[in-house]
Structure 1
Amino acid sequence: MSTGIEAISAERRRQFEVEGWTPEHDDQHTDETLALVAALYATPFRLFSQESSKDFFLFEDPWPSEWDDRWDKRDQLDRRSKLVIAGALIAAEIDRLDRAAMNPLNPPLERRDL
């Protein structure tokens, strides 16, 4: 079995080679959905369960509406696989922010005013 970082790197490569995602495609996600979907893959299932628990907040699944549901494979994967995908999506968001920071016409969004 690979280490976590090896698995994340392999998943990121797979996203490029199999899914066809590119840095240019990732750069279009200025709405922070790469990070949101990463967080959703990393979120423990019980956070979304309908059973009440005083230790967890329960809320509706915030899967982004602009992402096709066919990309949501959380219910098909084991915990480790979900975390690997989350890590790869975090890497994609970090790379997107780094590229945006190098482009003075399109600086990264660091903080949203609420």
Structure 2
Amino acid sequence: MNGIELILQERQRQIDVEGWSAEHDDAHNDGSLIDAAMAYLRNVNGYKISRWVDFLRQRTHVPNWPETWARGWYKPESAIRDLVKSGALIAAEIDRLQRRTENKG
């Protein structure tokens, strides 16, 4: 599977399994979807460091993680998996912005 397919699959999982529907995402008009995406992106280079994932899981503060989101939702895994999660969150934000534009027009 290529990167686009992985991101699409993750976005669909977020909708089907987690219940993060368009209506749910529309409520996140505070930039939190992008903040969460950035939190996952920040990890990617960190995977070069031994035990980086364990270190991050133990931290109480995660850079860029939305303050209004429960810390338990932050689940770093691997460089590729975190890129996929970030991409899916970016796609959700793009969709949210497009819906907002369509509703205004």
**Shorter chain as normaliser: what TM range?**
0.7 to 0.9
C-alpha RMSD over aligned residues: 1.8
Higher percent of residues as helix: 2
Partner of 1:29: 28
AA aligned opposite 1:96: R
- Note the C-alpha offset of 1:4: 0.2
- What is the 5 A alignment of 1:75-114? 77-104=77-104
Question: Post-superposition, which runs of at least 4 consecutive aligned residues in structure 1 deviate over 6 A?
Answer: none
Q: Partner amino acid for 2:35?
A: L
**Structure 1 gaps, min length 5:** 50-59, 108-114
Shift of residue 45, structure 1, vs aligned partner: 5.1
User: Which AA in structure 2 matches 1:34?
Assistant: L
Question: Residue 33 of structure 2 aligns to which amino acid in structure 1?
Answer: L
User: 1:8 Cα shift?
Assistant: 0.2
Aligned length: 90
Distance in 2, matches of 1:45 and 1:66, equals 25
Q: Percent sequence identity over matched residues?
A: 46
Deviation at 1:62, TM superposition (A): 3.0
In structure 2, C-alpha distance between the alignment counterparts of 1:62 and 1:40, rounded to whole Å: 5
Q: Which residue of 1 aligns with 2:69?
A: 67
TM-score (structure 2 length as normaliser): 0.79
* Structure 2 unmatched runs, 5+: 50-61
Structure number with larger C-alpha Rg = 1
Between the aligned partners of 1:6 and 1:62, the Cα distance in structure 2 is 26
Cα deviation, 1:47-85, whole Å, max 9, x if unaligned, reads xx9xxxxxxxxxx723222101111002xx010000000
Map 1:21-60 onto structure 2 (within 5 A).
21-43=20-42, 44=44, 46=46
Map 1:9-20 to 2 at 5 A.
9-20=8-19
